[in-house]
Amino acid sequence: MTTSPQRPLRFGIYYDGGWFTQLWRHMAGHSPWKAGLNFGGVHDLMRWHLHRQYNHPLASVVLAETHYVLGRLPEKADAQTDDSGWVGTPWGSSPMWDRILKEEGIVRHDTAMTATSKAGKSHAQIGTDVKLALVTHITATSAKLDIVVLIAPYAHFVPLVWHLHQAGIQVVVPSIYERYSTDTGHRVELITEPALIQAADHTPTWTDLITAGLQNDYRLTYPFVAKAGGGPNIGTARPELGFRYGTVNRWDSGSHFGFITENDGTRWFVKVGEVKGGFPLRKGQPVQFRGEPYPAPGRDYPRVRICWAYDVDA
């Protein structure tokens, strides 16, 4: 794809909710990182990847659409809660999962499942996949996206890729190939099917995406909901000249304080008085800072002593 530096590169992310739940559990329990993915982190990993893949200014890589399609039991579809025994959200709380989707600005789409669908792929599950394909095609074409990121594994999404290509939209499919046994001996396969990989324009692996997001030059949202441990390239780069780099993950404008997630996942407390220029921070803003890495007695988090905030414009 050839893009103009003056024109935004608009992309959308479309989730197969059941698949993403399996991926989340794998990352939290069986991946080298042992931490669940953060939606904002996934979005910024893709934004960073597209910036580098297409050599487009980061500030002009725009996430324009986010949609999440999930099958739910009929009495719970299009409600504010779902049957956590079936869906089994990563935090074990379906209302919390839905709240997070809302906070991240992700549009939720439900399809009614039947009880028989618990045992395996059924017509109800296929109906969910059809809805994901329809939602993706309709919203991507109406929003005139340049790129669709499809977080799904199945070969029957290949026709969707063809239709998007006909509309002039490229398709990126993050891929994975993992086979392992759980502690209970249950065999798990997380595999992006080869036909979908072949149909897509680009298929970066989740390992490559996450590894890029754990480098010191990456200054967007941390990929995980908690500090990762032991994964590739974690802790291999030392902060330059004593600086640390991270992203604002919370800011209380009334009390003028917030929290920064360092690139290695460590959470820091910061007050507006420590920000150079005294300007308030905002969620998702990249920062450079210094501070003592250990919490003071009676405190839960290390404290930032001086912080420089900036906007990503490269």
**127-163 pLDDT, tens digit each:** 789 999 999 999 999 999 999 999 999 999 999 999 9
Superfamily of domain 240-309: Nucleic acid-binding proteins (2.40.50.140)
Question: How many Cβ atoms from other residues are within 10 Å of residue 286's Cβ?
Answer: 20
Q: Kindly state the DSSP code that residue 274 receives in the 8-state scheme.
A: G
Query: Domain 9-212 belongs to what architecture?
Result: 3-Layer(aba) Sandwich (3.40)
With a pLDDT cut of 70, the percent of the chain lying above it is 81
pLDDT value at position 232?
62
State how far the Cα of 174 lies from the Cα of 261, in Å rounded to an integer.
24
What average pLDDT does range 47-58 have in this prediction?
Answer: 93
- Strand 286-291 vs strand 267-271: parallel, antiparallel, or unpaired? unpaired
Confidence band, pLDDT 50/70/90 cuts, at residue 249: confident
What dihedral angle (degrees, nearest 10) is formed by the CA atoms of 44, 50, 53, 58? -80
**161-210 pLDDT, tens digit each:** 999 999 999 999 999 998 877 777 778 888 999 999 999 999 999 988 99
Compute the mean pLDDT over every residue in the chain, rounded to the nearest whole number: 82
Structure tokens at 104: 């991240």
Structural domain boundaries of the chain?
9-212, 240-309
State how far the Cα of 27 lies from the Cα of 33, in Å rounded to an integer.
7
Closest to 280 measured CA to CA, from 301, 306, 309, 302: 309
